[in-house]
Amino acid sequence: MAKKTTQLAVIGAGPGGYAAAFLAADLGMDVTLIDPAGNPGGTCLYRGCIPSKALLHVARQIRESQESRVWGVEFDRPRIRLNTLREWKNGVVSKLTGGLGQLVEQRRIHYVRGTATFRDNTSLSVDTIDGQKDTLHFENAIIAAGSRASPLPGVNIETETAAGRFMTATGALEIKEIPKKLLVIGGGYIGLEMGTLYASLGANVTVVEMTSTLLPGVDRDLVRVLSKRFSKLVKEVLVETVAKRFSIQKNGVKVTLESANGHSAIRLFDKVLMAVGRRPRSDDLGLENTGVLADADGFIPVDAQQRTAVATLYAVGDVVRGPMLAHKASHEGRIAAEVISGRRVVQDAVAIPAVVYTDPEIAWVGLTESQASKEKPIDYQAVRFPWAASGRALTLDRPDGLTKLIIDRRSERILGVGIVGTGAGELISEGALAMEMGANAADLGLTIHPHPTLSETVKEAADAFYGNATSIYRPRRQPGG
C-alpha cells in the first residue's frame, strides 16, 4: 500500500464512495479510496443496478418478439445462449468499471484494493488483497460501505447459496442456468425485477410476498397497473404468504408456504431466490473503536452534512437511513466531499426519485397519495392521466400506463409524481425537477411538450387538475376550489 497518511480516506468504492472521492480530488484534496474490487463500481455496477438492467433489456426484447405477432410481425422462437448473454452482460460491467478506473488515475486518487477497519477516530487498519496489513492515518474519512442481502430466517446465505439451490440477487445475475421452477421470496423491487428476468428467459416463476400487495409502500394506483401484466408473465403471485420451512432434496428444495388464512402447502422448486431486502454493512468496520454508534438496525446516524457523531467521520449511501438507491448515495457522497472541503452545504434535496425496472416500469418522486392523506394530512388533489388516451402509448401498443400527480389544492404546488408505464424511469426526472424548482401545476401545463411523446402525459395530468386536459375530460376546476 505504501501510503501512510491521507487527507481523505473513503471506505467503499460504490456510487457513494467514488462520487465522493472524485469530487474531493477535483476540489484539491489528497484522496485514498479503499475497496476490494479491481476498479470502483461497488454493488451497483458489479452486482446490482447495471448488470440487472442489461439483462432486463434483453428480457424485454424477448417479450416484444413474442408479442409482435399482433402487429403482423412474427419471429422464430428465441434461442437463448446463456454463455453469450453472460459475456455481453459482463462486458457492459467491464466497460463501466474500467472507465471508473481510468478516472481514478486521471484524478491521481490513491486506490487501494482491500478492506478497512477503524483503529480509532483518525486511523484505519487496511488489509490488502495481496495479504499486506497496513495502517493509514487520515484527517477525515467517509464511510460508504454499502449494504448486503438480508438473510431468510433459518437460511445461512453463504452455505446455502454455495450449495446451489438458493440464490441472492447477486447469484441470480450470474444466470448460470434457467431453472424450470423458481420461487422468488419477496415482492419488493428486487424480487419483481428478478422475477421478470427469469420468467422472460423461460422459468416458471412463483412470487410470494408476506404483505397484502406487491411493492409495499408504493402508490396502489401504480402497482395495480403493474400487477395486471406481471401476473400474466409469471406463473403465480401469492400475497399474504410466508415461506416457512426449507428442505434440500436431490431434485430441488421443498418449501412450506403458509398463507394468512392458515392454509399450508408444501411445494417443490428447482431454486429459491431470496429477495427480502438489504441491510447496511456497518458491523465489520470497527466502529466500536470510534465514537460512532450504529442504531439497532445497523444504520449510522448522520446530520444534514453527512457528519457522524465524530467530527472527522462521515457516512453516506446504504449505511445511513433513507432509500437504498445509487443516486441517493452519489448525492450524499458529493455533499460530504464539499463539506470536508470547507463549503457550507447541506443535504436539502426536496425529493429523491425511485424506479422499479419491471414491465411496465414504475417510477415516483415526492409524496404518494397514501402519504399525503395519512402521514402528512394536507389539502391535496390526486389527478390521473391514463395512457389509453396517449397517442404515443398507443403507437407503442403500450396503453397500460398511468401518470399521476399529487397537487396542493391551495398553492397548486406539485407534491408528488407517480408514473407506471414503459419508460417511466426516463420520465420521472421531469417530476423531480418540478419539485426541486417549486413548480406548480400551471408550470407543467404551460410547458410545451413534443407530440407525440409519453412526456405529454405529465402535461395532460397537470391540465386535468384545472379541467383543461385535451385528451381526457375532467370537470373544470372552480377558482379556489
Catalytic residues: 451
Residue at grid coordinates 438489504: 278
DSSP annotation of 397 reads T
Residues β-bridged to residue 128: 114
Here the cell at position 388 is 389509453
Q: Is the dihedral of CA 435, 440, 442, 446 positive or negative?
A: negative
What HEC string does 230-268 produce? HHHHCCEEEECEEEEEEEEECCEEEEEEEECCCCEEEEE
Q: How far is CA 96 from CA 1, 193, 308, in A?
A: 25, 21, 31
Report the distance separating Cα 235 and Cα 417, nearest Å: 31
3-state SS, residue 223: helix
Q: How far is CA 152 from the centre of its chain?
A: 20
3-state SS, residue 166: strand
Here the cell at position 99 is 472507465
CB–CB of 282/300 below 8 Å?
yes
Q: How many CA atoms lie within 13 A of 169 on its CB side?
A: 30
| Burial bucket for residue 289 (CB in 10 Å: 0-12, 13-18, 19+) | middle
423-461: burial string, b at 16+ Cβ within 10 Å, e else: bbbebbebbbebbeeebbbeebbeeebeeebbbbbbbbb
First-to-last alpha carbon distance for the chain, in angstroms, is 67
Nearest alpha carbon to residue 432 among 303, 280, 325: 325
Report the distance separating Cα 351 and Cα 353, nearest Å: 6
Here the cell at position 98 is 474500467
Residue type, 47: R
Q: Is the dihedral of CA 456, 461, 463, 468 positive or negative?
A: positive
